[in-house]
Structure 1
Amino acid sequence: MTDEYKTFALGDVPLLSGEVLRDAKLAYKTYGELSETRDNVVVLPTFYTGTHARNEGFFGSGRAIDPARHFIICPNLFGNGLSSSPSNTPSPQDGPRFPLVQMWDNIACQYRLLHDHLGIERIALVAGWSMAGCQAYQWAAQYPDMVQAILPFCASAKTSPHNFVFLEGVKAALCADSAWNGGDYATPPVAGLKAFGRVYAGWAFSQTFYREGLFQQLGFDTPEALLQDWEADHVEHWDANNLLAKLATWQAGDISAGPLYQGDFHKALGSIRARTILMPSVQDLYFPPADNEIEARYMPDAELCPYDSPWGHCAANPGNDAGFTAALDANIRKLLQ
């Protein structure tokens, strides 16, 4: 089920930066069937260390998003190894030479997939965790007439300065490995990838998570055991240049970037017509509720529904916090009713 996906050929894509991504490809997977009225479309973009396969934990039979009732589209973020990425793009845009692809660029290409290729005029809901939630905001600001509802969870419409600095930390840990070699590595920078995972683990969960020993619920006897697992996961599953390409997209996140709003963030928020529920995790260390509180003030139809979880940012990871999952489904049902 998870291994099969389709690829949409985009050709040469002009980017917001002025560069051109050559022979770009957008990987995606769909679930369910498009209704005769074509009004049951749910878009679930992918998050930072995820592909469409990881999104399968956010929907299912009897869930608020159900393939029996909805046509679910999961477009893969540029840089995640399936869509055009440093690891699969030929010279001269391979590796560290891969251009900056911003949220605007991702959503413009996703729009081409949905509108031009799949013939979709209306989206019932765009939802997602973390970077996927950032794309939900972007969809609603970039194509306000097309998107009826959004539910970003553990996300923001603009990457905050503190979030930017957090990302600089994990990036510095990776690039400190001498094998990194400016991105032109002959073999993977294993020490750097391990350091990346180890630093990230301190941010993904809350202080309460570690204080109360909740890592034991994941099968780890000690924090060190969890850290070693995060090290191994990044070494086994992620290309270093891909991680940094997506990190650059994340750091540049801002729904007002681009020709529509020209940096006017409040105007961009005010232009969102979609019914919106913002669902931060109260103990999230890099997407705190305060950012969403500010955003909601400028959005015409936004409801703020914070959820307090000791799992921090990872409250949203399927299987971690049953209460978060139940609250998420309840909020999605409100938007889709």
Structure 2
Amino acid sequence: MDYDVFDLGNVRLQNGTTLPDAKLAYKTYGELDADRGNAIVYPTWYSGQHYDNEWLIGEGMALDPSRYFIIIPNMFGNGLSSSPSNTPAPHDRARFPDVTMYDNVEAQYRLVTEVFGIERLELVTGWSMAAGQTYQWAVSHPEMVRRILPFCGSARTSLHNIVFLEGVKAALTADAAWKHGWYTKEPWTGLRALARVYAGWGFSQQFYRERIYERDPLDYGSLEDFLVSFWEGLFIKRDANNLLTMLWTWQNADIGRTPGVGGTEEALASIRMPAIIMPGQQDLYFPPEDNEWEVAHMPSAELRVIPGAWGHFAGGGLNPVDTAFIDDALKELLARDA
């Protein structure tokens, strides 16, 4: 096992459900300074696990483990932290409770403070659903977070994004083997169908029109090769109930639902630390327009669009040009006074 587990005990979730004996899996990179002042939190994304984040960590990069102590907490539902697939009855499988972004961040806050004694975070950053967690950190614990850089994500899931996810969910649950979450073997047909639906959204029209999947660094031999090897290969490794748990978290993401906050605009206005908000230029479900609206309500935020044809996966670590663009912004933000 290449990660650690923080035993949270019984956790009362935002909806009032108690998740007994909850677990938060995490991995750290680098060493924590004596003053505990060099920490960065970099959460995981939909279906991703900590190792899927490692492309943005390295010597000479902004997230340099020789300089910073980088914590990657795994989301609830991703198969490593408490999830439908690893939780004992009665909260196993289809009975796993609904978990919000707020719930995830509160567990991460406990990890950061109780395990490491950290009182200040130099940065919170992340892609996609991790961007949503980044916004949530800024609202839930503004006294602690010095800077944020969410990329290819949003503070509130848009209606169009919710509709996209309804298609993903419908493809998975249409498989008779799903059995309303009480399957005895994975619903492979549904998982492959989910992957095919997702394939039309993860990259842009230009990406497909120009057959970028056939070029380096992807280098797939045909469209079908890409759909099977990349997309089906991504999702058949995951548990169906886990995917549906994280999907619910995504659909219901809204920093305006943070306890004590009076809506999304008020929550955005409370984010006063330096921030660079980075959408992908052709992201089909987290479009730049949504982030433009957010930045207009944030006192110290800058919108910086990742150019190019890679759509949502501009933030996925696949294209070296996009990775360099994100890394340069992180370096710039970390150099700013906060």
**Separation of aligned partners in 2, 1:4 and 1:314:** 26
CA shift digits 1:94-143 (9 cap, x unpaired): 00110000000000010000012210000000000101111000000110
Distance of 2:159 and 2:18 partners within structure 1? 28
2:36/2:117 contact within 8 Å kept: no
Deviations along 1:187-219, one digit per CA (max 9) or x if unpaired, are 110100000111111100000000001010212
Equivalent residue letter for 1:166: F
Partner Cα distance (1:102, 1:253) in 2: 7
2:259 is matched with which residue?
Answer: 259
Aligned match of 2:58: 60
Structure 2 gaps, min length 5: none
Q: Number of residue pairs matched? A: 332
* CA offsets 1:22-72 (integer angstroms, 9 cap, x no match): 110000011101112221111100011211101111110111110000000
C-alpha distance in 2 between matches for 1:219 and 1:12: 47
C-alpha contact (below 8 Å) 1:42/1:126 kept by paired residues: yes
Distance 2:186 2:158 in 1: 30
SS of residue paired to 1:124: strand
1:214 matches 2:215 = no
Could you tell me how far 1:232 is from its partner in structure 2? Answer: 3.3
For 1:104 and 1:260, how far apart are their aligned partners in 2? 12
Aligned ranges 1:294-313 → 2 under 5 Å: 294-313=293-312
Identify the residue that residue 29 of structure 1 maps to in structure 2: 27
CA distance in 2, matches of 1:322, 1:5: 27
The one-letter code matched in structure 1 to 2:222 is T
- The answer as to whether partners of 1:44 and 1:132 remain within 8 angstroms in 2 is yes
**Residue 241 of structure 2 is aligned to residue 241 of structure 1:** yes
| Counterpart contact for 1:145–1:273, Cα < 8 Å | no
Instruction: Provide Cα deviations, 1:246-301, integer angstroms capped at 9, x if missing partner.
Output: 00000110011131214x11110011122100000010000000010000011110
Residue 312 of structure 2 is aligned to residue 316 of structure 1:
no
Write the distance in 2 (CA, Å) between the matches of 1:135 and 1:223.
Answer: 33
How far apart are 1:231 and its partner, in Å? 1.7
Match of residue 172, structure 2, among 162, 171, 174: 174
Is the CA contact 2:101–2:253 (under 8 Å) kept in the aligned structure 1? yes
**What's the offset of the Cα at 1:233?**
3.0
- Report if aligned partners of 2:202, 2:283 keep a CA contact under 8 Å in 1: yes
Pairing 1:77–2:79 present: no
Deviation of 1:321 after TM superposition, in Å, equals 2.1
Q: Distance in 1 between matches of 2:160 and 2:126?
A: 21
Identity over aligned pairs, percent = 55
SS across alignment from 2:51: helix
Give the distance between the partners of 1:73 and 1:12, measured in 2 at CA: 23
After superposition, residues 4-23 of structure 1 pair within 5 angstroms as 4-23=2-21
Kept in 2: contact 1:16–1:258 (CA 8 A): no
1:90-129 correspondence runs (5 A) = 90-129=88-127
In structure 1, list runs of 5 or more residues that go unmatched.
none
Structure 1: which amino acid aligns with 2:258?
A: G
Q: Could you tell me which of 117, 132, 135 is aligned with 2:133?
A: 135
Please give the alpha-carbon distance, in whole angstroms, between the structure 2 residues aligned to 1:117 and 1:60: 24
Letter in 1 for 2:23: K
Q: Which residue of 2 aligns with 1:283?
A: 282
Residue deviations 1:316-335 (CA, integer Å, cap 9, x gap): 222x3222111111111111
Is the contact between residue 220 and residue 226 of structure 2 (CA under 8 Å) also seen in structure 1?
yes
RMSD, matched Cα: 1.0
1:232 aligns with 2:233: yes
Task: Write the distance in 1 (CA, Å) between the matches of 2:90 and 2:82.
Answer: 13
Q: Which moved more, 1:16-25 or 1:84-93?
A: 16-25
